[in-house]
Chain A
Amino acid sequence: MLATLLVSVLVITLIAIVLALLMVIADATVGNYGTAKITINGSKELEVQGGQPLLKALNGEGIFIPSACGGRGSCGLCKVAVLEGGGNYLPTELPWISEEEKKNQIRLSCQFKVKNDIAIKIPEELFSVRQFTTKVESLRDLTHDIKEVKLKLVEPTEIDMKAGQFIQFQVPEYELTDEPVYRAYSMASVPSDITHIELEIRLVPNGICTTYVHKHLKEGDTVIVNGPYGEFFLRDSERDIICIAGGSGMAPVKSILLDMADKGSKRKARYFFGARSARDLFLIDEMRELETRMENFKFIPALSEPSPEDKWEGEVGLITDVVGRLTENASESDAYLCGSPGMIDACIKVLRDLGMPDERIYYDKFS
């Protein structure tokens, strides 16, 4: 009995050893492509182990290419231009690549393998983009349809962001989606708090991510995000600032204002926040507190349709009208706008009429 047992263990071990040895030998000979050089944007050079997918090779060097499916070739997001040494397209790439992209040598980086020296081109901002594993620290209802989500960074533990930038939030598989999807949200947190990310997410009926956040997300849950991205951030200057936001457009503006307060900015800043009625207003106390921290800051909430029970004594009217009414000359100011496309377009028109040059109007349109 013992003998047969021993023999079977031995035989299985023998087979396993032979196969493992074979694989090791194959890895070291057939599968060994040596090191390959990746030249990025003509300047940065990386030495990577050959034979691995480009996405993984870049990831290993700390350069994160956004990908929703994690390299299975099923989302088609991780596109990268391979300018030299690309070779032919793989059948697994073709479904995702248009004729136009073929001309620009766009490849699917999770399928394309680095076998020789290559030259690639990626947007500069991707150099600072990372994927973060986070934990939900707190959830708070700001209004009847906007939730504040505070995430504690787990791995990596710190984020280097500019006030106003956004991240991509990974929604895992659940009843509304059968594969992970990404949605962009502005960060409401102050850049000096490098261990947290705060988001303000408004419930959109049947929205994949917003439904997930509002109905499924609990404190302690793990959330994967990547970022930071975006050109909407506070620029250095001494000019006055006009901020205009509506709804969850509060998030990046709050980040910008907190950042200014942190740095002891003396710039004159006014923040117009538009809402329909009092139940759509939020973070009023936080904004009032900011007014005490920054002597030159003024928060101006405005309601377009205050209901009688609101007993509203503040500004009334569309946010564009309120801005126009309270601003005499905007030619020496910068503007930061965040909200729906309709609101932003209307605000840009008003600011232009007030003499503001287009290049000083920074905005983040929800789409």
Chain B
Amino acid sequence: MNDILFPLAVFFAAVFTNNILLTNYLGMCSFLSVSKELETSAGLGIAVTFVMATTTAINWVVYHFLLVPFQLEYLRFIVFIIIIAAFVQLIEMVIERYSEGLYFALGIFLPLITVNCAILGASLFMVIREYSFMTSFFFGFGSGLGWLIAILAMAGIRQRLRTAKIPLGLDGPGISLIIAGFMAMAFMGFNGMITIS
């Protein structure tokens, strides 16, 4: 595949066929705990998308221009997580100060995101899969978008579940995990469209 199309292919793969939430099961805890309302799910999903796209780009730069030249690749876990935490903190401070609307919509989710393993996961996949800068950015963006779609679908289903009759033993986390499983199977239907490794 040529250089211009590859990032786009990765982008679509990250959204559908290799959805970070449904195929790698990363970012499960906030996926399960915040997906009760459509509105809050959208807020969290957008925040995740933004942070994932930006942190994979920043981490790519740090990894390739700082860690690789000094052969410190093994430090990537700790470096990535520190950078994500600092970045999220900074963003939160900035939007709290300058945009009340944005802060109310997204800001309150940002502290949740620091500990969202999908964010760190995206940065680590980008290293393992040896993506270029552009590809990494699109991969992060796509993964975030995929996560957003998954949580929105989940929130929609769970809103409907409220009036549904659920067997007593499955109520709560049980039925949520079963739904997540079905969703993962549904997303497997996209397999074969695009594959990335």
* Chain A positions near chain B (C-beta within 8 angstroms): 4, 7-8, 11-12, 15-16, 19, 22-23, 26-27, 30-31, 87-88, 90-92
CB pairs A–B below 8 angstroms (21 shown): A4-B71, A7-B72, A11-B66, A11-B67, A11-B70, A11-B75, A12-B72, A12-B78, A15-B79, A19-B82, A19-B83, A22-B90, A23-B86, A23-B89, A26-B93, A27-B93, A30-B94, A87-B100, A88-B100, A88-B104, A90-B108
CB-CB under 8 A from A30, the residues of chain B are 90, 93-94, 97
Q: Assess the B40–A7 pair: CB atoms within 8 A.
A: no
Checking B70, B79, B90, B108 against A23 with a beta-carbon cut-off of 8 angstroms, the contacting residue is: B90
Bound Cα distance A30, B40 (Å): 26
Given A11-B66, A11-B72: A91 in contact with B90 (beta carbons within 8 A): no
Bound Cα distance A8, B70 (Å): 7
Q: Is B62 part of the binding interface, using a Cβ–Cβ cutoff of 8 Å?
A: yes
Bound Cα distance A30, B98 (Å): 9
CB-CB under 8 A from B40, the residues of chain A are 91
Bound Cα distance A90, B96 (Å): 12
CB-CB under 8 A from B83, the residues of chain A are 15, 19
Given A11-B67, A12-B75, A19-B83: A91 in contact with B93 (beta carbons within 8 A): no
Bound Cα distance A252, B104 (Å): 47
Q: Assess the B71–A91 pair: CB atoms within 8 A.
A: no
CB-CB under 8 A from A7, the residues of chain B are 70, 72
Which 4 residue pairs are nearest across A and B when measured between Cβ atoms? A19-B86, A30-B93, A31-B93, A30-B97
Convert B65-95 into 0s and 1s, putting 1 for each residue whose CB lies closer than 8 angstroms to a CB of A: 0110011100100110011001001100110
CB-CB under 8 A from B108, the residues of chain A are 90-92
Convert B22-61 into 0s and 1s, putting 1 for each residue whose CB lies closer than 8 angstroms to a CB of A: 0000000000000000001000000000000000000000
Bound Cα distance A4, B93 (Å): 37
Most buried by A among B79, B93, B100: B93
CB-CB under 8 A from A4, the residues of chain B are 71
Q: How far is the CB of A107 from chain B (nearest CB, A)?
A: 14
Instruction: Determine the main DSSP class of A at the interface with B.
Output: helix
Bound Cα distance A292, B152 (Å): 76
Q: How far is the CB of B96 from chain A (nearest CB, A)?
A: 8
Interface size on B, residues (CB 8 A): 21
Q: How far is the CB of A95 from chain B (nearest CB, A)?
A: 11
Bound Cα distance A31, B93 (Å): 6
CB-CB under 8 A from A12, the residues of chain B are 72, 75, 78-79
Convert B83-124 into 0s and 1s, putting 1 for each residue whose CB lies closer than 8 angstroms to a CB of A: 100100110011001001000100010000000000000000
Q: How far is the CB of B115 from chain A (nearest CB, A)?
A: 15
Bound Cα distance A30, B96 (Å): 9
- Look across to chain A and name the residue whose beta carbon is closest to the beta carbon of B85: A19
Bound Cα distance A30, B90 (Å): 9
Q: How far is the CB of B149 from chain A (nearest CB, A)?
A: 22
Q: Assess the B90–A26 pair: CB atoms within 8 A.
A: yes
CB-CB under 8 A from A88, the residues of chain B are 100, 104
Q: Assess the A91–B104 pair: CB atoms within 8 A.
A: yes
CB-CB under 8 A from B100, the residues of chain A are 87-88
- Look across to chain A and name the residue whose beta carbon is closest to the beta carbon of B67: A11
Bound Cα distance A226, B89 (Å): 33
Q: Assess the B62–A15 pair: CB atoms within 8 A.
A: yes
Bound Cα distance A26, B93 (Å): 8
Q: How far is the CB of B23 from chain A (nearest CB, A)?
A: 31
CB-CB under 8 A from A26, the residues of chain B are 89-90, 93-94
Bound Cα distance A5, B99 (Å): 44
- Look across to chain B and name the residue whose beta carbon is closest to the beta carbon of A92: B108
Bound Cα distance A22, B79 (Å): 15
Bound Cα distance A11, B67 (Å): 8
Q: How far is the CB of B62 from chain A (nearest CB, A)?
A: 7
Bound Cα distance A31, B98 (Å): 10
- Look across to chain B and name the residue whose beta carbon is closest to the beta carbon of A27: B93
Bound Cα distance A92, B75 (Å): 36
Bound Cα distance A88, B75 (Å): 43
CB-CB under 8 A from A31, the residues of chain B are 93, 97
Checking A15, A87, A91 against B66 with a beta-carbon cut-off of 8 angstroms, the contacting residue is: A15
Q: How far is the CB of A146 from chain B (nearest CB, A)?
A: 40
Bound Cα distance A26, B97 (Å): 11
Bound Cα distance A155, B175 (Å): 47
CB-CB under 8 A from A19, the residues of chain B are 82-83, 86
- Look across to chain B and name the residue whose beta carbon is closest to the beta carbon of A10: B70
Q: Assess the B75–A8 pair: CB atoms within 8 A.
A: yes
Bound Cα distance A15, B81 (Å): 12
CB-CB under 8 A from A91, the residues of chain B are 40, 104, 108
Bound Cα distance A203, B86 (Å): 49
Q: How far is the CB of B9 from chain A (nearest CB, A)?
A: 32
- Look across to chain A and name the residue whose beta carbon is closest to the beta carbon of B90: A26
